[in-house]
Structure 1
Amino acid sequence: MLKRAAYDRIVELLNQGGLMPGQIVSQRELVETTGATLGSIREAIPRLEADGLLQTLPKRGLMVPTLDVSFVRDAYELRSILELSAVRAAIDSIPTARFSGWIERHEQFLANIQTNSNQDAADEMQKLDWDMHATFIDSMQNVLIANVYRVNSIKIHMVVQSRLQVTPFNAERIIGEHLAFLRPMLARDIAASEQALKQHIDNSLHLALGGRL
């Protein structure tokens, strides 16, 4: 339990930008930051290394992976494979009311951002974004796929915190991309849903690699 708690606290730091890509940190610093014991931190490190979330540098400490081209591309390509595979299951098993609710919330966000831009609303949009995509994967009811997606999502979150965070300036585009696949999902149009979702993920990868839309 202590090892799991230490792992979860370090993951939370990675998800929220408390540990930044390329940062080098010692085990003692992780103890101070997470409040976990040194023993539990040491026990959690092998799992974090196996997940590709930390790297041991002999005599230097632990390094958060850098966001090089391979790291970013691999994470987004895996995300695309997993989420596109989940579209049919999501359409078949997620209630219509859930899709309608997501669409309504996106439309409300869009109206609010156009009249009163603020980062709090953008942060709420970011949380909805992550929760919604994770729900697609959960609809497959496959524990192995869900675990692979969970680890990969941490890497995606690291990219987002550094390069793609939802802001009042880009929220309108993101909302539009979400509605482009949510509406056909509500209509049970698998092909259109997959096409729009792929475009959304491809756009995110392009931006994460420094491109422009």
Structure 2
Amino acid sequence: MNMPDADGLLMADKAFLALRDLLTRGGLRAGQFVSMPDLVRILEMPMAPVREAVKRAESAALVRILPKRGVAVMEASPALIRDCFHLRTILDQEGARELVRAGAGSRFEGLRTSHRHILDAAREGITSELQAEAMQVDWDLHTALSEALDNDSAREIYARNRDRISVMQHSRPLLPDRIIPAMEEHLLILDALASGDETLAAAAVRNHYHQTLRWWGIIV
């Protein structure tokens, strides 16, 4: 019986959270195949809740169930890369506009400092620790833009899309040739927000989107 544990979570819920964490942290890579017995072993949970977790992950477009074979992690195809980053950009642009309308575009000095730190460190040399820190700072800005919408439906869509992007990013993590430009593009977004110009802020978000697709090789 699938009873709640001491934390009040059903085993199936815990299994899904563990599977999602495994996927978004790169424990399973885009396009990778894993059998159900191996997944049970990796997650250290019984088969029944793992099966339910896999079904939920498939409904979230993170994996594809291959009957009698196992589970295939979502592919980082050019079409999916474009779709996911385009969706993020649509929501980020509106978040940027909301911040400007609210006169809140100049409140992100902490984020600006974090970006400058990454930028300075990257110019000295890239380490695996700096790559991980850069990815977190990258998401900190995008999260700030999405949260400006203050819309629960948009928040849910954004979170699901973020999970898919996170899986894809581990197939090609932020490399030295992308960390510096990405931080510079983010600083342009922060500058545009502080300027109080909605059009400029939205344009800076769109520019970041186009440069991201170029780095992925989707456009030239």
Picking from 167, 182, 200, the partner of 1:192 is 200
Displacement, 1:116?
Answer: 4.3
Give the aligned residue type for 1:41. Answer: V
Give the aligned residue type for 1:128. Answer: V
Displacement, 1:58?
Answer: 1.6
SS of the equivalent of 1:62 reads strand
Which ranges of structure 2 fall in alignment gaps of 5 or more residues? 1-8
1:14-63 alpha-carbon deviations (Å, 9 max, x no partner) = 11211112212122222211223322112222221111111111221111
Other-structure match for 1:50: 59
Other-structure match for 1:170: 178
Is residue 113 of structure 1 aligned with residue 103 of structure 2? no
Q: 1:200 to 1:95 in 2, by over 3 A?
A: closer
With the length of structure 1 as denominator, give the TM-score of the two structures.
0.89
Equivalent residues in 2 for 1:29-108 (5 A)? 29-91=38-100, 92=102, 96-97=106-107, 99-108=108-117
1:51-107 alpha-carbon deviations (Å, 9 max, x no partner) = 11111112211111212222222212212222112212234275733x111112212
Confirm or deny: 8 A CA contact 1:5 1:36 kept in the other structure: no
Picking from 168, 175, 194, the partner of 1:159 is 168
Other-structure match for 1:25: 34
Give the aligned residue type for 2:29. Answer: M
Once residues 144 and 93 of structure 1 are traced to their aligned partners in structure 2, the CA distance between those partners, rounded to angstroms, is 24
Confirm or deny: 8 A CA contact 2:82 2:218 kept in the other structure: no
Other-structure match for 1:145: 154
Give the aligned residue type for 1:178. Answer: H
% same residue: 26
SS of the equivalent of 1:22 reads coil
Give the aligned residue type for 1:25. Answer: V
With the length of structure 2 as denominator, give the TM-score of the two structures.
0.86
Other-structure match for 1:131: 140
**Which structure's residues are more often helix, by fraction?**
1
Give the aligned residue type for 2:121. Answer: N
Deviates more, 1:30-39 or 1:8-17: 30-39
Other-structure match for 2:213: 205
Regions of 4+ moved over 3 Å: 93-97, 209-212
Displacement, 1:179?
Answer: 0.7
SS of the equivalent of 1:162 reads coil
